Amino acid sequence: KNPQGAPDPKLAIKVQKVGVVGAGLMASQFALLFLRRLQVPVVITDVSQERVDKGLAYCRAELDKLVEKGRLSVDDRNRYSANLSGTLDMNDFADCDWVIEAVFEELKVKHDVFTRVEAVVRPDAILATNTSSLSVDEIGKVLKHPERLVGFHFFNPVAVMPLLEVVKAAKSNDVSVATAMRVANDLKKTAVITSDSTGFVVNRLLGYLLGEAMKAVDEGIPFEEVADAIAPLGLPMNPFDLLELVGLQVGAHVLDSMYGFAPERFYKTDSLHQLAKLGRIRTKDSKGNKTGYDPEAIK
Ligand code: CAA
């Protein structure tokens, strides 16, 4: 089903090679999905060989796990693995027709990425940003052709979460949005088209939930009590586990953006930035099972 506001699907280009800028956990997760569902070559880049190698290793380890679980044949694993490459040379993106970034959530970092990407890709290549809290139009300001940029916002864990927000910025043209919808469909995700407003749709709601949970903690209610109080709602995860899943720094950025957008509606929390520095809210045993809340986090 083509959602409301979606352009004619016939306008979509067929993606033959994917470029992924950023090799962090989010980017690696969707690089893997592109490999498996689009079945095309995927090239990854980042700021250092170490980071690129880490992203490649994640994808290969996940493919191995799927083979072990009997969900992927060895032939397919080898084919996907051969389709995956890493580079530090932007010229390897020259023949990509779909380039998506998930680098640090800072405008000038995104600007630098897209300036370098546009310098090498073909004029008809479509560009996408996985930003969760910045304006797609603002990101596109450095582009000579901002009409080819769309938001393509995944949710963690990428392999499991069915939703994708396709962000139609003021300048995004129909070919870009139609291509994003086609890619989303090929990835077997349910895509919604959103406008380029802060937090799109999901983070407006999540920002509220996560902000209120942090506000309760800031007001002296222990993490355990907040988590226990919310448990009967039947959410798949409590807000603190969710913050750890998306990354504490990402969570802090999302809350900052939402607060900047509507200070009367959202909560700005410095403690979440402190937790991001600490790197955790929960303590874990030697096997990685969560055991409780870190006393350092409760200070
Ligand atoms: N990567 C790949 N697969 C994963 C995974 C991961 N990180 N985590 C879980 N899975 C898979 C498991 O392998 C399992 O698959 P199978 O059933 O096929 O074996 C399945 O998910 C269920 O996993 P579990 O049984 O271990 O765990 P669960 O039932 O407790 O579910 C969960 C785990 C899917 C993460 C669930 O807790 C959940 O839906 N949590 C909420 C996640 C959420 O709200 N995400 C949105 C965050 S917001 C965001 O990302 C955007 C932003 O801008 C901040």
> Is the shortest distance between the CB of 161 and ligand 1 below 6 Å?
yes
Q: 234 CA distance to ligand 1 centroid (A)?
A: 15
> Is the shortest distance between the CB of 248 and ligand 1 below 6 Å?
no
Residue 111, token pair as written in the block = 């600007």
Residue 265 pLDDT: 94
For residues 7 and 178, give the distance between their C-alpha atoms in angstroms, rounded to a whole number: 6
Residue 1 pLDDT: 61
Q: Is the Cβ–Cβ distance between 211 and 269 less than 8 Å?
A: yes
Query: Is pLDDT of 2 > 70?
Result: no
For the CA atoms of the chain, what is the radius of gyration? 20
Split at pLDDT 50, 70, 90, the class of 28 is: very high
- Say which DSSP state 44 is in: E
For residues 134 and 190, give the distance between their C-alpha atoms in angstroms, rounded to a whole number: 22
Look up the ipTM and state it.
Answer: 0.95
Q: Tell me the pLDDT of the chain averaged across its residues.
A: 95
> Is the shortest distance between the CB of 246 and ligand 1 below 6 Å?
yes
Q: In what order do the strands lie in the sheet with 190-195?
A: 84-87, 42-45, 18-21, 98-101, 126-129, 149-153, 163-168, 190-195
Counting other chains too, the contacts that 283-289 makes at CB distance below 8 Å and 24 or more residues apart are none
> Is the shortest distance between the CB of 237 and ligand 1 below 6 Å?
yes
For residues 262 and 99, give the distance between their C-alpha atoms in angstroms, rounded to a whole number: 31
Q: What is the number of the ligand 1 atom nearest to the C-alpha of 247?
A: 54
Choosing from 68, 160, 165 the residue with most ligand 1 atoms within 8 A of its CB, the one to mutate for a pocket test is 160
Look up the pTM and report it. Answer: 0.94
Q: What is the DSSP string of 63-121?
A: HHHHHHTTSS-HHHHHHHHHHEEEES-GGGGTT-SEEEE---S-HHHHHHHHHHHHTTS
Q: What is the number of the ligand 1 atom nearest to the C-alpha of 245?
A: 47
Q: 27 CA distance to ligand 1 centroid (A)?
A: 16
Q: Is the Cβ–Cβ distance between 81 and 55 less than 8 Å?
A: no
Asked if 153 is an active-site residue, the reply is yes
For residues 164 and 169, give the distance between their C-alpha atoms in angstroms, rounded to a whole number: 15
Residue nearest to atom 6 of ligand 1 (CA): 157
What average pLDDT does the segment 13-24 reach? 97
For residues 119 and 205, give the distance between their C-alpha atoms in angstroms, rounded to a whole number: 37
Split at pLDDT 50, 70, 90, the class of 3 is: confident
Span 72-94, pLDDT tens digits: 999 999 999 999 999 999 999 99
Residue nearest to atom 29 of ligand 1 (CA): 236
For residues 236 and 218, give the distance between their C-alpha atoms in angstroms, rounded to a whole number: 24
Residue 4 pLDDT: 73
Q: 164 CA distance to ligand 1 centroid (A)?
A: 15
For residues 106 and 161, give the distance between their C-alpha atoms in angstroms, rounded to a whole number: 25
> Is the shortest distance between the CB of 61 and ligand 1 below 6 Å?
no
Split at pLDDT 50, 70, 90, the class of 298 is: low
Residue 297 pLDDT: 75
Domains defined for the chain, CATH in brackets: 9-195 (3.40.50.720), 202-298 (1.10.1040.50)
Q: Could you tell me which of 268, 242, 272, 243 has the C-alpha nearest to residue 256? A: 268
Evaluated on CA atoms 83, 87, 92, 96, the torsion sign reads: positive
For residues 225 and 267, give the distance between their C-alpha atoms in angstroms, rounded to a whole number: 19
What average pLDDT does the segment 120-139 reach? 96
Span 265-279, pLDDT tens digits: 999 989 999 999 999
